[in-house]
Structure 1
Amino acid sequence: MSKKTLKVAVIGGGSSYTPELVEGFIRAFGEMPVRELWLADIGEGRQKLQIVGELAQRMVAKAGVPIKVNMTLNRREAIAGADFVTTQLRVGMLAARRRDEHIPLSHGVIGQETTGPGGMFKALRTVPVILDICRDIEELAPAAWLLNFSNPAGIVTEAVLKHSNVKTIGLCNLPIGFRKHLAKAFGVHESGVLPEFAGINHLHWVTAAYVNGEDKLRELIDGGKGQAAFAPALDWDADFLKSLGAIPAPYLRYYYMTDTMLGEQLEQLKTNGTRADVVGRVEAELYELYKDVNLDEKPKQLEQRGGAYYSEAAVKLMHSLYADKRDIQTLNVKNGGIISFLPEDACIEANCVVTAQGPIPLSLQRIPRHIKGLLHAVKACESLTIEAAVSGDRGIALQALVHHPLIPDMNTAKALLDEMLEANKAYLPNFFKR
Structure 2
Amino acid sequence: MKLTILGGGGFRVPLVYGALLTDRGPGRVTEVVLHDLDDSRLRAVARVLDEQASAVGDAPRVTATTDLDEALRGADFVFSAIRVGGLEGRADDERVALAEGVLGQETVGAGGIAYGLRTVPVAVDIARRVARLAPDAWVINFTNPAGLVTEAMSRHLGDRVIGICDSPVGLGRRIARVLGADPQQAWIDYVGLNHLGWVRGLRVAGRDELPRLLADPHLLGSFEEGKLFGADWLRSLGAIPNEYLHYYYFNREAVHAYQQAERTRGAFLRDQQARFYARVGTPGTSALELWDRTRAEREATYMAENRETAGAGERDADDLSGGYEKVALALMRAIARDERTTLILNVRNRHTLAALDTDAVIEVPCLVDASGAHSVSVDPLPGHATGLVCSVKAVEREVLAAAESGSRATAVKAFALHPLVDSVNVARRLVEGYRAVHPGLDYLK
TM-score normalized by structure 2?
A: 0.90
- Asked if 1:20 corresponds to 2:15, the answer is yes
1:26-425 matched pairs, under 5 angstroms: 26-42=21-37, 45-165=38-158, 167-223=160-216, 226-227=219-220, 229-268=222-261, 271=262, 273-287=263-277, 290-291=280-281, 294-296=286-288, 299-306=292-299, 308-424=322-438
8 Å CA contact 1:155–1:347 kept in 2: the answer is yes
1:283-334 CA-to-partner distances (Å, cap 9, x unmatched) read 2344356436644576253133348112112111111111112211000000
* CA distance in structure 1 between the aligned counterparts of 2:265 and 2:286, rounded to whole angstroms: 30
Structure 1 residue 194, shift from structure 2 partner? 1.8
8 Å CA contact 2:193–2:361 kept in 1: the answer is yes
Letter aligned with residue 283 of structure 1: Q
Q: Give the alignment's Cα RMSD to 1 decimal.
A: 1.9
Identity across the alignment (%)? 34
| CA separation of 1:187 and 1:288: change in aligned 2, threshold 3 A | farther
- Asked if 1:11 corresponds to 2:25, the answer is no
SS in 2 for 1:377: helix
8 Å CA contact 2:159–2:347 kept in 1: the answer is no
* CA distance in structure 2 between the aligned counterparts of 1:170 and 1:60, rounded to whole angstroms: 27
Out of 366-375 and 347-356, give the one that drifted further: 366-375
8 Å CA contact 1:105–1:111 kept in 2: the answer is yes
SS in 1 for 2:4: strand
SS in 2 for 1:359: strand
Structure 1 residue 400, shift from structure 2 partner? 1.1
Letter aligned with residue 17 of structure 1: R
* CA distance in structure 2 between the aligned counterparts of 1:164 and 1:62, rounded to whole angstroms: 38
8 Å CA contact 1:138–1:165 kept in 2: the answer is no
8 Å CA contact 2:36–2:66 kept in 1: the answer is yes
Match of 2:307 in 1: none
8 Å CA contact 1:183–1:192 kept in 2: the answer is no
* CA distance in structure 2 between the aligned counterparts of 1:296 and 1:423, rounded to whole angstroms: 34
Structure 1 residue 428, shift from structure 2 partner? 2.5
8 Å CA contact 2:221–2:227 kept in 1: the answer is no
Q: Could you list the runs of 5+ residues in structure 1 that have no partner in the other structure? A: 1-5
SS in 2 for 1:352: strand
8 Å CA contact 2:36–2:65 kept in 1: the answer is yes
SS in 2 for 1:330: strand
8 Å CA contact 1:346–1:383 kept in 2: the answer is no
Structure 1 residue 58, shift from structure 2 partner? 2.7
Aligned length: 421
Match of 2:443 in 1: 430
* CA distance in structure 1 between the aligned counterparts of 2:357 and 2:373, rounded to whole angstroms: 19
8 Å CA contact 1:38–1:72 kept in 2: the answer is yes
| CA separation of 1:53 and 1:182: change in aligned 2, threshold 3 A | same
8 Å CA contact 1:204–1:249 kept in 2: the answer is yes
SS in 1 for 2:30: strand
Q: Could you list the runs of 5+ residues in structure 2 that have no partner in the other structure? A: 300-320
8 Å CA contact 2:128–2:156 kept in 1: the answer is no
| CA separation of 1:327 and 1:166: change in aligned 2, threshold 3 A | closer
Structure 1 residue 56, shift from structure 2 partner? 1.1
Letter aligned with residue 107 of structure 1: E
* CA distance in structure 1 between the aligned counterparts of 2:428 and 2:19, rounded to whole angstroms: 44
8 Å CA contact 2:435–2:442 kept in 1: the answer is no
| CA separation of 1:35 and 1:169: change in aligned 2, threshold 3 A | same
Letter aligned with residue 397 of structure 2: S
8 Å CA contact 2:6–2:80 kept in 1: the answer is yes
Structure 1 residue 280, shift from structure 2 partner? 1.9
Out of 181-190 and 49-58, give the one that drifted further: 181-190
Structure 1 residue 171, shift from structure 2 partner? 0.6
* CA distance in structure 2 between the aligned counterparts of 1:286 and 1:194, rounded to whole angstroms: 39
* CA distance in structure 2 between the aligned counterparts of 1:110 and 1:223, rounded to whole angstroms: 33
8 Å CA contact 1:41–1:73 kept in 2: the answer is yes
Structure 1 residue 282, shift from structure 2 partner? 2.8
